[in-house]
Amino acid sequence: MYKKIKLRTYEILEVARPNDTASRVVDIALMTLILINVSLIIADTFELPVLAVKIGNTIEIVSVVIFSVEYLLRIWSADLKYPNLPPVLARLRFMVTFTAIIDLVSLLPSYISVISANFMVLRMLRVLRLLRAFKLNRYTHALRDIADVFKKKASQLISSMLVVAFLMLISAVLMYDAEHEAQPEVFENAFSGLWWAIVTVTTVGYGDVHPITVIGRVMGSIIAILGIALIAVPTGIITAGFSEQITRQNAEREAAEKSNAKEAEDEKKFCPYCGHKLD
């Protein structure tokens, strides 16, 4: 009985199988609660009526209780997720996963607010509640696909970002040397040049820091053009990664469909009652 309850709990908490209505209902309820929590965090930035604040606080308390129970139940049933590990190690293994850490960290602000009354601490910790949005990763393949693409293209992305970083550092020093004498209050040091380089290379262009000398403008034009070309490289790598991901998923889906069709065809060649091959 105990094992059946644990197994059913594990099945309900995991992403629902096609015919598991209870698990699907729980998934939808948790996703809805996550979205409500994110909406409440945004609503906290507005001046709300007292009644709305009380309702929000009540929803927050209920959410913390539900998410806490969910977290504890996932730890309890973790040995079913990692059957090859002893129960204690399985639970520890689950607790260090990304989603489990997100669960725990997103709950901390609510529990710390009970202990601490420091307004600044609570205000800083409130941001951690936004991490609850990442809990949606359990119920959608979108974030997992993004993570897979970044993991597979990590070396290429790091290489391209290093090149962009070097360009920014070199640009910062060159622009400082070119503009410091003309506008020392703007280009006070290399960090001022770095701010200009980041804004320029990323094509944001705030305009608060800009060159006024001829050599500074010439260098700025060259760096801006180089920045457009280099910033496009990581974008192209990520795009190629998504294209490969989609192609691979389509191939796996087609292979699964062919395998299922073949199994269905093979079953037709045998008697469903006695199992003997039909002539």
Q: What is the pLDDT of residues 93-133, one digit of tens each?
A: 999 988 888 888 888 877 877 666 555 555 666 667 777 77
- Cα separation, 217 vs 223, whole angstroms: 10
User: What confidence tier does 234 reach under pLDDT thresholds 50, 70, 90?
Assistant: confident
Question: What are the tens digits of pLDDT across the range 83-96?
Answer: 888 989 999 999 99
Hey, which of 39-43, 69-73, 265-269 has the most confident mean pLDDT? Answer: 69-73
The answer to whether 90 and 81 have CB atoms below 8 angstroms apart is yes
Mean pLDDT confidence for 194-207: 85
CA angle 28, 246, 130 (to 5 degrees): 40
More confident residue, 261 or 52: 52
| Residue 13 neighbours by CB distance under 10 Å | 19
* CA proximity to 122, closest of 113, 134, 131: 113
12 vs 6: CA distance, rounded Å: 10
